[in-house]
A and B are shown apart, each in its own frame.
Chain A
Amino acid sequence: MKKQGNSNSTIAVFSFPLPSQSNYALLANLVTILSHIYSRVIVVTGDFISILPHIIDDLRLANKSRIFIYDLRVKLPSRDGYAPFITKLFIYIKIQVNIITASIKLRNIIRSALFFIGIPHMLPVIILLRLMKKRTIVY
């Protein structure tokens, strides 16, 4: 993503990719609101594209041209489905690495980052962004 426009009017929304679909409906609600306030809303989360058909209706009132997705392409396995511990651990580490990479890649574009779902899991990113002198907001 190239740097363009005023970073003051760009916000990144970090949402930890937890398995529950209801989390994405909540995320869609927040993103809809922010899309009417900021000229660019960058959503950093996992597997957003595959979940999009289920929440497209929740984005009905959003200013869609202002929403950009940074898809981590990974999310934690569902609580109902069986996955060995080692697989879960590997996925968790992958999410952490991807989310930190995202914050580094986006550092020149954003001035503020909002942390939404699964906030305690994103503590390393919150600290990293604070070190980069970004404004951090916790929901």
Chain B
Amino acid sequence: MKICDVVWILAVKFADIVISEVSDPLYEDPIKLRYARLRLPIALRFIDLDKFRVIKPINRRVYDIAFIARLEPEKGLPEFICGIKLLYKEGLKPRILVGGEGSLLSLAKEALKNLDVKLVQYIPHKEMPNVLNDVKILVLPSKKEGVPTILLEALACGVIPVASKVGGIPWVIEKAQTGLLLNTPSCNSVYKALKVLLALKPNELERLSIKGRTFAEKYLSINGAINRHALLKKLLKKRAS
């Protein structure tokens, strides 16, 4: 056991209440699940649904595929690049957007230089709704995650996600009934999932896009988040009395 795990266990054990990002214990951090005195599965955050909305129908968007994350190995950038190269090798020529900064920036520049890729280093958060409205498929081949904000924002904008089966991601994708899960964030799994989605007809893409937005409206509104977090206050009052 690593020292950071020991410290994390102690923090969880000392806490009165531990908040989880997803309700299903199946996707919970095992340390929280095992050591928490009281676990409150309420904490899915909200997305500003007025800002993050479908501005452009999915079939009129510029980029077929996007990778928007820190350009680090744990975010699965090498696997993404490898998967994209396999698609190009097969003669498919999707338009790609890569957004982010990090230690693998120069590797990304070098590896993607002959492909139809736009590389944007820093995307201000206020620009994100417009950026996502130019994307059809978002790839998140991370090795470790909680519930990534970009995934929730993408769903709200009707983007179809392809993401690893880690953290709270499977819960989100199952509830949203859109996108594909990668069993392992590997080159081959990225390639296969993208190939499936790129072969979809426009009306099928539209259907998946609408499902993402429907999920966002059901689970990601600010009022929903306030109601979920209000339980925390009630619980604290109960424990104090």
Judged by a CB distance under 8 angstroms, whether A29 is at the interface is yes
Judged by a CB distance under 8 angstroms, whether A123 is at the interface is yes
Judged by a CB distance under 8 angstroms, whether B46 is at the interface is yes
Binds B, one of A32-40, A67-75, A86-94, A96-104: A32-40
Establish whether residues A36 and B14, one from each chain, have CB atoms under 8 Å apart when the complex forms: no
> Per DSSP, are chain A's interface residues mostly helix, strand or loop, or mixed?
helix
Residue among A32, A36, A139 making CB contact with B19, cutoff 8 Å: A139
Task: Name A9-44 residues within 8 Å CB distance of B.
Answer: 22, 25-26, 29-30, 32-34, 36-38
Judged by a CB distance under 8 angstroms, whether B17 is at the interface is yes
Establish whether residues B17 and A135, one from each chain, have CB atoms under 8 Å apart when the complex forms: yes
Judged by a CB distance under 8 angstroms, whether B4 is at the interface is yes
C-alpha gap A32/B46 in the complex (Å): 9
By a CB distance below 8 angstroms, the chain A residues around B230 are 37
Judged by a CB distance under 8 angstroms, whether A1 is at the interface is no
**Whose C-beta in chain A lies nearest to the C-beta of B8?**
A120
C-alpha gap A26/B150 in the complex (Å): 11
> Per DSSP, are chain B's interface residues mostly helix, strand or loop, or mixed?
helix
Enumerate chain B interface residues (CB-CB to A < 8 A).
Answer: 4, 7-8, 10-12, 14-19, 36, 43, 45-46, 48, 51, 101, 103, 124-126, 149, 222, 225-226, 229-230, 232-233, 236-237, 239-240
**Whose C-beta in chain A lies nearest to the C-beta of B47?**
A29
Least Cβ distance of A13 to chain B in Å? 12
27 contacts between A and B (CB under 8 A): A8-B236, A8-B240, A26-B149, A33-B46, A33-B229, A36-B226, A37-B226, A37-B233, A54-B125, A55-B125, A58-B125, A60-B48, A61-B48, A79-B103, A112-B236, A115-B15, A120-B8, A123-B7, A126-B15, A135-B17, A135-B236, A136-B17, A137-B16, A137-B232, A138-B18, A139-B19, A139-B43
Least Cβ distance of A18 to chain B in Å? 13
Least Cβ distance of A82 to chain B in Å? 13
Establish whether residues B240 and A123, one from each chain, have CB atoms under 8 Å apart when the complex forms: no
Judged by a CB distance under 8 angstroms, whether A127 is at the interface is yes
Least Cβ distance of B232 to chain A in Å? 7
Known interface pairs A25-B149, A37-B233; A115-B11 also in contact (CB < 8 Å): yes
